[in-house]
Chain A
Amino acid sequence: MAESYPLLEARGIGKAFLGIAALDGVDFTLGRGEIHALLGENGAGKSTLIKILTGVYSRDRGTLQLDGAEVTPASVADAQKLGIGTVYQEVNLLENLTVAENLYLGRQPTRFGMIDRREMRRRSKALLTRYGLDIDVDALLSSYSVAIRQIIAIARAVDLSGKVLVLDEPTASLDSHEVETLFTVLRRLREDGLGIVIITHFLNQVYAVADRVTVLRNGRLVGTRDLANLPRLELISMMLGRELQHMTRERQPGDETITTTGEAPIRFEGYGKRGSVAPFDLAVRPGEVVGIAGLLGSGRSETAFLMFGIDRADSGTATIDGKPASLSSPESAIGHGFGFCPEERKTDGIIGDFSVADNIALALQASRGWAKPISSREKQALAESFIKSLDIRPASTEKPIKLLSGGNQQKAILARWLATEPRLLILDEPTRGIDIGAHAEILKMIERLCAEGMSLVVISSELDELTAVAHRVIVLSDRRHVAELVGKQVTTDNILQAIASRTEAA
């Protein structure tokens, strides 16, 4: 009785990279004719789970059953043969080939050993007609929009696999009309009995199309629920990891005075960029920690990119010490005394093969200009002082930084900016992927820095982290600043409420 089994059942899936657990005992069940959303913040383990299901990674632990039979997909091709097809966000098809070639790559109809182009064309036409697409299958894929490519990719994956369809952020670059077209296709496939897994960070779309949701957090399963009776607020708190409880931060006396008195020397007014973040007002005072909260894709990092000049604002003004300031590039932002620790430490932060000392000296060198090189003795002294004060381990200035642990890399990057003595430091997910000890140290450091009069902007998806350090929290949703919580208002409850009320209204 095959029908008594769920279509796909994963039990206790575990996977570690270099000793760090990316997935820890995760269960996941997918039924026939079900659209199942997989949610979680960055680093929650969504993509690791997907890659294990689709044969990109092999699992360390756990079992995976398809139609009641144990399977271990060894490669993408293997998973396809088993019946599990995947459509990735961007890189899924080949732009240099025609639509028909893309649909039948690797399984072209042949006649006498030759590819039968006419047959391939005919089948492609027939296949796409079922998806409501009537296009020239001999045209290059690059001549079609992302939405059409997405449907072509789905058509290929379903035709190839036919049991399970995995969609990794399929709607990230589609407009609302295109999303609706895509969902119509998905609903039809659901009626055909296909099991569909969809990863997205748009909650509205989750509620619009999915039947059930599984939430992961920090590599662990938070829960699987029916969406029909799951309030948004609860879903969001599952994602951000806080049960609804009244946790208030232990406020030190004097907090309120910092945030209310004094003119803010750094102000952004009506600052925004179309398609990135809606115009916002933000003022930062010396010695203040401003937290930025929101779900993945809500515009958190984009706000930081604007403030640091990585993206150029197309509206609004920035004022520093009462004078209008142009933040057109990171270089000019550094010139105004800004610093930025990006979220993707490995790709955007460290220069892996450079020594710890070189990494620390980088921003200081940049702010001085290349004509005045830092002498190697000065660099050494600088690195040694920060290694001591921030307790970077191993305490070697010459080790390539890629050999350090995540927490120590993060400290070195902090040191890089502290060396320039910034007045405003922006930290994007400063504690992601680092161990608990370093986590606490970095939070302590944030408090010490603001006590010394530095302004900090901290972006984090860990709500208790924000409530612990921030004097003020800006809440973002759908690329818009929707609420500002000050002093006693800064609680996990209030942040969750602010996020939820906004997504409900949208």
Chain B
Amino acid sequence: MIHTRNLPFITTLGIFILAYILCVTQYPNMLSTRVIGNLLTDNAFLGIAAVGMTFVILSGGIDLSIGSVIAFTSVFVAVMVGSLGVHPLVAFAAVLAISTIFGSAMGAMIRYLGIPPFVVTLAGMFLARGAAYLISTESVPISHPVIDAIQGFYFRVPGGGRLTALAMLMLIVFLLGAFVAARTRFGANIYAIGGNQQSAELMGVPVGPTTVGIYALSGFLSGLAGIAYTLYTSSGYSLATVGVELDAIAAVVIGGTLLTGGVGLVAGTFIGIMIQGLIQTYIVFDGTLSSWWTKIVIGILLFVFIVLQRGIIWYSDRRLAESRLKEV
């Protein structure tokens, strides 16, 4: 049985498959593993960040600091490794610790000071961006045997495609994310808080620790996304990834997660990311379209999905009313 709450996800999946088929009928090459491999690699950092955003939105919150944290991470890693000669793995560990603490601090402010997530993470956004500028305003190139090894690592897939380390990292994050959401108490608590925080609290859900955990997770994944971005571009730049949080929100919403929280799937976000990537790939294949068409199509899709979600809520309310009438 298909739950009405999963209907947005089914719709997204349908749209993605349909769009892919349309693309392939026009450009048969788009079905190649090479294209799919690139699709995954190019969107790896965005995908990792979007998993964190999914949890935040499921809980009824929002995290605007993601793009800035990614930029901070990339500059931090580039300067540590490129200028100071620190071992990349040490730099990775340090920056993941920083971003996780940063996220927890925002979560604690949201919960214990009662400040809306929008405001707290907006402040976090400026803070992280400012800290990135403070480290360096230049684009810092990065080169190290370990980094080169990670960048060069891939599995060859039949058909000439490459499953890179970044693509695998993203897929693992999605799998783990889906597992946490569906199969752990932490995940169940997130859905509960997103459904109705007051009820969740009255039912004994530890709202405080869970909220802090959600934003810590989002901070950690932003840091991880920043590392992926650094590996992807081989540099760190404090002006990079402006507005990435909005792309992540778009992917989450297109993936069928309700912005009001409580309903959605991590798998949906994956499809949301893939739809965005697909449009970009199509534009590359076409060669004549402006790349801004990506934004236009994403805009249209967002509208469609928000209307669709409204419609589903309206429909299920009406059905409930009807079934009540029948009972009487």
Residue A108 interfacial (CB < 8 Å): yes
Kindly list chain B residues whose C-beta atoms are within 8 Å of the C-beta of A138: 1
* Residue A106 CB within 8 A of the other chain: yes
Q: Are B202 and A94 in touch, CB under 8 angstroms?
A: no
Q: Is A142 an interface position by the 8 A CB rule?
A: yes
Is there a chain B Cβ closer than 8 Å to A115's Cβ?
yes
> Given A101-B188, A108-B188, is A76 in contact with B196 using a C-beta cutoff of 8 Å?
no
> Which A residues lie within 8 Å of B1 (CB)?
138-139
Q: Which residues of A contact B5 (CB under 8 A)?
A: 96, 140
B194 close to A92 (CB less than 8 A): no
> How would residues 31 to 59 of chain A score, 1 for a CB under 8 Å from any chain B CB and 0 otherwise?
00000000000000000000000000000
Q: How far is the CB of B193 from chain A (nearest CB, A)?
A: 9
Asked if B262 and A140 make an inter-chain contact with CB atoms under 8 angstroms apart, the answer reads no
Q: Which of B195, B262, B316 has the most CB of A within 10 A?
A: B195
Taking a contact as CB atoms under 8 Å apart, the answer to whether A115 and B185 are in contact is: yes
Smallest Cβ-Cβ distance to B193: which chain A residue:
A94
Q: Residue-by-residue, is A87-108 near B (CB-CB < 8 Å gives 1, otherwise 0)? A: 0100111111100010001101
- Does A175 have its Cβ within 8 Å of any Cβ on chain B? yes
- Known contacts: A105-B188, A108-B188. The answer to whether A88 contacts B3 by CB under 8 A is no
Query: Is A94's CB under 8 angstroms from B199's CB?
Result: yes
CA distance A48 to B319 in the complex (A): 37
Distance in Å from the Cβ of B177 to the closest Cβ of chain A?
14
Complex alpha-carbon distance, A221 and B135, angstroms: 67
Flag if A108 contacts B191 (CB, 8 Å): no
Chain B 164-203, CB within 8 Å of chain A: the 1/0 string? 0000000000000001001111001101101110111111
Beta-carbon contact of B202 and A88 below 8 Å: yes
Interchain nearest-CB distance for B20 vs A (Å) = 30
Q: Mark A120-152, 1 if CB is under 8 A from B, else 0.
A: 000000000000000000111011010000000
A88 contacts across to B, CB distance below 8 A: 202
Q: In the complex, how many angstroms separate the beta carbon of A284 from the nearest chain B beta carbon?
A: 37
CA distance A96 to B319 in the complex (A): 16
Chain B residues with CB under 8 A of A156: 203
Chain B contacts for A86, CB-based, 8 A: 202
Tell me whether B44 is interfacial, beta carbon within 8 Å: no
Task: State which residues 280-312 of A face B: CB under 8 Å.
Answer: none
Does A77 belong to the interface (CB within 8 Å)? yes
How long is the Cα–Cα vector from A145 to B324 in the complex, in angstroms? 7
Within 8 Å CB of A113, what residues of B?
Answer: 184
What residues of chain A lie closer than 8 Å to B195, measured between beta carbons?
94-97
Q: Is A106 in contact with B203, judged by CB distance below 8 angstroms? A: yes
Taking CB atoms and an 8 Å cut-off, the chain B residues in 283-328 that contact chain A are 316, 319-320, 323-324, 327-328
Q: Is A114 an interface residue (CB 8 A)?
A: yes
Known contacts being A115-B185, A145-B324, A145-B327, is A91 close to B205, with CB within 8 Å?
Answer: no
CB of A115 within 8 A of CB of B184, answer: yes
- B199, A92: Cβ atoms closer than 8 Å: yes
Task: Tell yes or no: B132 within 8 A of A by CB.
Answer: no
Known A-B contacts A114-B184, A115-B185; the reply to A140 vs B191 at CB < 8 A is: no
Minimal beta-carbon separation of B194 from chain A (angstroms): 7
Of B3, B183, B205, B206, the residue contacting A115 (CB under 8 A) is B183
6 A/B residue pairs, CB under 8 Å, sorted by A: A92-B202, A96-B262, A97-B191, A105-B204, A106-B204, A117-B183
Given contacts A80-B204, A105-B204, A143-B320, 7 further A-B contacts (CB under 8 A): A94-B195, A96-B262, A97-B192, A97-B195, A106-B203, A115-B184, A145-B324
